[in-house]
């Protein structure tokens, strides 16, 4: 935590990209700011909280990821530029400014100033303006300031004003800013929490005992009428979520409808790992033709699929990444990328745990989407529904979605969605039912029928046992990386895990290499920590004896022991001992979460 009371200025001295590790080393001078600064300690640079990975005299080196460079002004800073500095607030010290986290929310542009009275006006994105209030607090390039005026809500251009005294202009870099310059902005964290709580209260719908009883009875029958149904509509019945999960697991698409007050649309959804030319062609024929591929943020980052735009103006916040195709030079028979066969290949590559960023070309004809980490319980969108359904179906959590449309191009809605689902033998579910299903906990997850193994597909070309979808819609085509057994069946895949970049991790026990691995099926993140063996003795063990291999420690997460040093267990002690031994003799620690 910081206060926004800048304690000095530094000068950028070097920027060194490290594309293999996905970071850039950012070095700056920090006079009188290194006393007691340990590796890994935090310091705010122009309001951005960063961690020291190396110190040399009065210079500090930190590592910046692409998102930090893109979303803050640190990506614009060059050697010779001045930056504001502040060490983190020690426990028990006086809070002179306001609570600043060092988590920059966005950037603003200096559009006007009056040297006579110190007034400075900044233009801000509309999504940040709602957190700014007259006499409230804001951090500008890490400087705690009081807002003197804000734009009216109906104004097309959002702005705020602050008054800067001569001392602030002299002691911080704000005195160096010119009209048109960009600055980092962090809004008041209390305003963000208050806004979030008001949002949740506004969408909470009190449920009468009668309505609750009716919903429970419908759930027991396994069928439900959508809440958006009016008395004048023909009755539409929704299917149980468990039926949709089973169909998705067997390679069939399902239809998912959202709330009438949101987009009121139905999407065809299936697992990207099960994409076939037939299924993709079916999807294109019955949709707008725009086919998207929802996935987790970790998956998108690993495949090097950055956000399509820096400032997302989509009303629903749909998180598009840059479009892509499978790389033609790596996949035989791949043509322009727009055909059903090409698009199904791209979908399977996006879901393949063994895929690499080089397997894709950018831009292309498929549109990946990033799902919120909390799934439909965080954002009630089709993007999140696709990822949640894939996880429930025990397939790689990458889906394919497309908005269903009539032949005239208009969007298909209830009750036409029910007719479409019945015509093609597909389950029709609602996102709010999926939310309720997930809220029931792990016991709600569908069990496997005898002989049904998660991720195991039928023989190549064979339709699923219960297939009622269009010809080929449920059939499975192996991905470019799948292995086929002698009997023609696809071999059981290894459980999918996606590695993140390897980063340098300075600790109290030494410097390690760290890498996060994400389980495709669950989204769980585990950390692999490694230290090199002593030079010339790669097989040396903890007691100096040769082991024939590196030391391995598997440690299960224990918050009370690892973080708080609980004396009711020895987890924290074991973790410390393992890190010390691995740092001394080399080896790896797998931290399971």
pLDDT in tens, the chain (593 residues): 888 899 999 999 999 999 888 899 999 999 998 888 888 889 999 999 999 999 999 999 999 998 899 899 999 999 999 999 999 887 767 777 788 888 999 999 999 999 889 999 999 998 899 889 999 999 999 999 999 999 988 788 899 999 999 999 999 999 999 999 999 999 988 877 777 766 655 444 444 444 444 444 444 444 555 554 443 344 467 888 888 998 999 999 999 998 765 566 899 999 999 999 999 999 999 999 999 999 999 999 999 999 999 998 988 889 999 999 999 999 999 999 999 999 999 999 999 999 999 999 999 999 999 999 999 999 999 999 999 999 999 999 999 999 999 999 999 998 899 999 999 999 999 999 999 989 875 433 433 332 232 333 332 223 333 333 443 343 333 333 333 333 333 233 334 567 777 888 999 899 999 998 877 555 678 999 999 766 555 444 433 444 456 789 999 999 999 999 888 888 898 999 999 999 998 999 999 98
Place of tokens 């549109």: 367
Residue 18 is inside which H or E element, if any? strand 8-18
Q: How far apart are CA 464 and CA 252, in angstroms?
A: 8
**Catalytic residue chosen out of the listed positions 24, 265, 325, 352:** 325
C-alpha span between 433 and 413 (Å, rounded): 17
Listed by start position, the domains of the chain span 1-203, 218-444, 499-592
DSSP 155-216: -SS-EEEEE--HHHHHHSGGGG--TT-EEEEEE-HHHHHHHHHHHHHHH-----HHHHHHHH
- 451's CB contacts (< 8 A; 6+ apart) are none
Residue 592 β-bridge partners:
556
pLDDT at 89: 80
Residue from 42, 66, 469 nearest 248 by CA:
469
d(Cα 324, Cα 305) in Å, to the nearest integer?
8
Measuring CA to CA, how many Å separate 517 from each of 18, 350, 496, 577, 593? 20, 17, 10, 23, 11
Half-sphere exposure of 318 (CA within 13 A, CB side): 17
Active-site residue, 292 included:
yes
Q: Does domain 218-444 have CATH number 3.30.450.80?
A: no
Rounded to the nearest 5 degrees, what angle is found at the Cα of 589, between the Cα atoms of 584 and 593? 150
Residue among 138, 122, 130 nearest 182 (CA): 122
**The one catalytic residue among 259, 320, 424, 460:** 320
Catalytic residue among 54, 81, 218, 365: 365
Q: 485-491, long-range: CB within 8 Å, 24+ apart, which pairs?
A: 488/459, 488/460, 489/459, 490/456, 490/457, 490/459, 490/460
Q: Does residue 320 carry a catalytic annotation?
A: yes
Helix/strand/coil percentages in the chain, nearest 5: 25, 30, 45
Other Cβ atoms closer than 10 A to 401: 25
Q: Report the alpha-carbon distance of residue 504 to residue 28 in Å, rounded.
A: 18
Cα 496 to Cα 491: distance, rounded to the nearest angstrom: 14
114 is catalytic: no
141 is catalytic: no
The residue from 267, 432, 520, 530 that is catalytic is: 267
Torsion of the alpha carbons at 515, 520, 526 and 531, rounded to the nearest 10: -30
Angle between helices 241-249 and 382-392 (to 10 degrees): 70
Q: Rounded to an integer, what distance in angstroms lies between the CA atom of residue 130 and that of residue 191?
A: 9
Based on the residue annotation, tell me whether 403 is a catalytic residue of this protein: yes
Is residue 370 within 8 A of residue 376, CB to CB? The reply is no
CATH 3.40.50.12780 fits 499-592, yes or no: no
CA angle 377, 378, 380 (to 5 degrees): 70
Name the token pair of 519: 């389980």
pLDDT of residue 262: 59
Select which of 292, 324, 390, 571 is catalytic.
292
Say how far apart CA 306 and CA 327 lie, in whole Å: 17
Q: Distance (Å, rounded) from C-alpha 142 to C-alpha 102?
A: 8
The label of the residue with tokens 């239809």 reads 255
267 flagged as catalytic: yes
- Indicate which residue of 403, 433, 530, 562 is catalytic: 403
Amino acid 15: pLDDT: 95
CA distance 139 to 481: 49
- State the DSSP H helix or E strand holding residue 59, giving kind and residue range, or none if neither: strand 59-65
- How is domain 1-203 classified at the CATH fold level? Elongation Factor Tu (Ef-tu); domain 3 (2.40.30)
- Which residue in 24, 86, 186, 263 is the catalytic one? 263
* Shared fold status for 1-203 and 218-444: no
What CA–CA distance (Å, rounded) separates 523 from 553?
Answer: 22
């Amino acid at each position: 935590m910081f206060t926004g009371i800048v304690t000095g200025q530094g000068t950028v001295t070097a920027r060194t990209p490290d594309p293999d590790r996905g970071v850039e080393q950012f070095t700056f001078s920090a006079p009188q700011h290194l006393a007691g600064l340990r590796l890994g300690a935090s310091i705010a640079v122009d309001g951005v909280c960063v961690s020291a990975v190396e110190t040399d005299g009065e210079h500090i080196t930190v590592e910046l990821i692409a998102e930090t460079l893109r979303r803050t002004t640190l990506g614009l800073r060059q050697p010779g530029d001045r930056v504001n500095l502040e060490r983190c607030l020690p426990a028990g010290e006086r809070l002179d400014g306001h609570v600043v986290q060092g988590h920059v929310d966005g950037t603003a542009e200096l559009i006007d100033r009056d040297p006579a009275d110190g007034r400075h006006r900044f233009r801000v994105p509309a999504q940040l303006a709602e957190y700014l209030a007259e006499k409230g607090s804001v951090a500008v390039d890490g400087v705690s300031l009081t807002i003197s005026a804000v734009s009216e809500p109906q104004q097309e251009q959002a702005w705020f004003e602050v008054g800067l005294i001569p001392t602030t202009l002299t002691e911080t870099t704000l005195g160096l800013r010119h009209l048109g310059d960009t600055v980092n902005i962090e809004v008041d964290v209390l305003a963000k929490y208050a806004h979030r709580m008001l949002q949740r209260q506004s969408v909470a719908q009190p449920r009468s005992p009668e309505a609750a009883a009716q919903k429970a009875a419908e759930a027991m029958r396994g069928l439900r009428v959508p809440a958006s149904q009016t008395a004048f509509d023909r009755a539409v019945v929704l299917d149980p979520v468990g039926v949709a999960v089973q169909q998705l697991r067997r390679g069939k698409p399902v239809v998912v409808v959202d709330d009438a007050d949101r987009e009121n649309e139905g999407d065809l959804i299936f697992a990207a790992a099960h994409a076939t030319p037939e299924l993709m062609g079916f999807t294109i024929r019955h949709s707008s033709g725009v086919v998207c591929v929802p996935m987790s943020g970790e998956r998108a980052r690993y495949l090097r699929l950055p956000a399509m735009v820096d400032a997302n103006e989509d009303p629903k916040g749909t998180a598009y990444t840059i479009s892509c195709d499978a790389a033609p030079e790596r996949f035989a028979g791949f043509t322009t990328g727009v055909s059903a066969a090409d698009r199904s290949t791209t979908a399977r590559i996006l879901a393949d745990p063994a895929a690499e960023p080089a397997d894709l070309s950018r831009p292309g004809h498929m549109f990946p989407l990033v799902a919120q980490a909390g799934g439909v319980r965080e954002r009630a969108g089709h993007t999140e529904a696709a990822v949640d359904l894939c996880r429930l179906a025990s397939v790689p959590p990458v889906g394919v979605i497309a908005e269903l449309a009539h032949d005239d191009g208009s969007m298909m809605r209830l009750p036409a969605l029910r007719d479409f689902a019945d015509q093609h033998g597909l389950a029709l579910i609602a996102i709010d039912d999926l939310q309720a299903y997930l809220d029931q906990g792990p016991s709600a997850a569908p069990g496997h029928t005898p002989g049904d193994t998660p991720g195991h597909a039928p023989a190549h070309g064979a339709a699923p046992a219960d297939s009622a979808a269009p010809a080929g819609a449920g059939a499975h085509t192996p991905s470019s990386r799948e292995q086929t057994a002698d009997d023609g069946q696809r071999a059981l895949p290894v459980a999918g895990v996606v590695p993140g970049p390897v980063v340098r991790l300075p600790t109290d026990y030494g410097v390690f290499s760290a890498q996060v691995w994400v389980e495709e099926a669950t989204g769980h993140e585990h950390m692999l920590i490694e230290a090199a063996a002593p030079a010339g003795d790669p097989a040396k063990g903890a007691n100096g004896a040769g082991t024939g291999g590196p030391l391995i420690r598997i440690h299960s997460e224990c918050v009370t022991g690892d973080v708080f040093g609980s004396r009711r267990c020895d987890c924290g002690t074991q973790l410390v001992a393992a890190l010390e031994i691995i740092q001394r003799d080399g080896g790896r620690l797998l931290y399971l979460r």
